[in-house]
Amino acid sequence: MRAVSAMRDFAIATLREVGAARPADAAGTVRSPDLVAIASAAGQRDGGLPVDKQARAKITEAMFSVNTVNLTKVKTKLFERLGELLNVRQESFDTAEAYGRALKQKLAEIRREPGSEAFLAKIEKELGLDKLKITLDELTDAIVDPDGEAGRKLDAAIEKQYGKAITSARDADTPRTLVMSSIGTYRPR
């Protein structure tokens, strides 16, 4: 019985909101809304496709298009390639922070060797860090603390390089705060 009363309350709130949004005609009467069309969003078309089909098409495009690049995947690939070039296996570490610290330690060892600057410059070029305007130290700092200054700089550099084709975890994977409207529907804050 409780579900029925909740549904009735929702229907009443919907009618009130729809009625408040509809102006009265010259005679002062408010025409009744087509509730079936409102509830099913029927008749709402843009470019010939129903709204729900457009939404599905956009979701599919974002998930499966070869034209979109995931920011997290780009960073992960950079981190993996750096480890390969320095002979540090990512699988050997429990956390990304431990992996990043091991890479920092390896870089410090290499810098003690004569001729290391040329070797490190070659690694930066091979990883494309020169194009991103990111140093090896900034890359390892981004591994250790992805939310820190170096992590934000790396995100911005990758987003700038890939432009609109990039999607990020913040855009797609992160849950957003939802608020309830007066008629009981949820929307992002």
Q: What is the pLDDT of residues 16-40, one digit of tens each?
A: 665 554 555 555 555 555 555 555 5
- Residue 133 located in a structural domain: yes
% helix, strand, coil for the chain, step of 5 = 65, 5, 30
Same domain, 89 and 139: yes
Same domain, 18 and 76: no
pTM over 0.75: no
Q: What token pair was written down for 81?
A: 């390639």
How many other C-beta atoms are found inside a 10 Å radius of the C-beta of residue 180?
9
Same domain, 87 and 143: yes
User: What is the tens place of the pLDDT at every residue in 103-123?
Assistant: 999 999 999 999 889 999 999
Same domain, 99 and 149: yes
- Residue 187 located in a structural domain: no
- Closest by CA position to 96, among listed 146, 138, 51, 134: 146
Domain range holding 140?
Answer: 69-172
Name the helix (H) or strand (E) containing 126.
helix 116-127
The interaxial angle of helices 71-85 and 149-162, nearest 10 deg, is 110
Q: Give the count of domains, the chain.
A: 3
Same domain, 75 and 153: yes
